[in-house]
Amino acid sequence: MPALPVIDQSAGDKLAWAAFACNVGLHFTQVPLMLTMLKDNDPASLSRYVSWPALLQAFACSLWLGYGLATYPSTPLVANNTIGISLSLFYVACFVLKKPTVVAKALVAALWILSVSSAILLYGLLYLRSPVAGADGIAAGITIAVTAFFWASPLKALAAAAKDLDESKVPLPLTFIMKGTVTLWLAVGCLVGDVALVVCSAIGVFFTTLQVCLWAWIRLQKKRRAAAGGGAEKDGSAA
């Protein structure tokens, strides 16, 4: 993978702490949902809670933790993803506690272990003894792919929001926080010359921008429909 020129390592390292602070806030966004689930005692309702966001967080953070330890040593990156993994474990523990069947409990626990251990195995194979040729490129490529999937995961919900013209399905405050976070990491990547940070953050900027544009589009369509409906009513009353 081609290297990028380092613009200002010192400034990038300092800015990484600001990105770290925003990112930690994002890791906590599932806490309200977990608290709601812990209070829920309806088996039918509990079966509808989905664990994939916590599992995907565990996998992505595990990869980025390995990246921050082995490929691009960075204390903010390591601290950020250590917190992310720890919180994903808390989320999974909530699912294990509240899932209505033993099979569902075992599955979510096994998938969390698989997510974390896969990242450990990957970086172990790449760096444990003598580094594999092109190890940095392989690690960056896999990390980028998983992160891109993570950023693309809301597309199904966005499509539903567009179909229903329901802007409430686009979490605008959270989207702006995410946008700010990935923009900071993009600036860090540019300053320190790290390709994976630049590419992953650019993908995040794209998808968060898409969410904001979709919210604006839905609002515009609703206003147009309301205006068209109001005009039709006036024409009808005049007749």
DSSP string of 13-69, one letter each residue: HHHHHHHHHHHHHHHGGGHHHHHHHHH---HHHHTT---HHHHHHHHHHHHHHHIII
Query: Of how many residues is the chain composed?
Result: 239
Spatial CA neighbour of 161 closest among 174, 153, 147, 171: 171
How far, in Å, CA of 92 to CA of 94, rounded? 5
Sign of the four-CA dihedral 14, 16, 21, 24: negative
Closest CA to 109 of 124, 97, 123: 97
Tokens encoding 148: 């891109």
Question: What pLDDT, on the 0 to 100 scale, is given for residue 197?
Answer: 93
DSSP state of 72: S
Closest CA to 198 of 180, 185, 210, 179: 185
pLDDT given for residue 164 in this prediction: 87
- Tens digit of each residue's pLDDT, the chain (239 residues): 557 899 999 999 999 999 999 999 999 989 999 999 999 999 888 888 889 889 999 999 999 999 999 999 999 999 999 999 999 999 999 999 999 899 999 999 999 999 999 999 999 999 987 778 888 889 989 999 988 888 887 887 888 888 888 888 788 888 898 999 999 999 999 999 999 999 999 999 999 999 999 999 999 999 998 888 754 444 444 43
Structure tokens at 168: 């409430």
Q: How many CB atoms lie within 10 A of CB 21?
A: 13
Question: Where in the sequence is the domain holding 72, given as residue range(s)?
Answer: 9-238
Number of domains in the chain: 1
Residue 25 domain-assigned? yes
Nearest to 56 by CA among 153, 125, 131, 169: 153
Task: Please give the pLDDT value at position 239.
Answer: 38
Cα 173 to Cα 176: distance, rounded to the nearest angstrom:
5
CB atoms within 10 A of CB 73: 10
Sign of CA dihedral 10, 11, 16, 18: positive
Give the contacts of 90 (CB within 8 A, at least 6 positions apart). 34
Q: Pick from 162, 165, 175: which is nearest to 206 by CA? A: 175
**What is the spatial distance between Cα 109 and Cα 24, in angstroms, rounded to a whole number?**
23
The answer to whether residue 1 is domain-embedded is no
Q: Model pTM greater than 0.75?
A: yes
Q: Is 196 domain-assigned?
A: yes
Residue with tokens 């250590």: 82
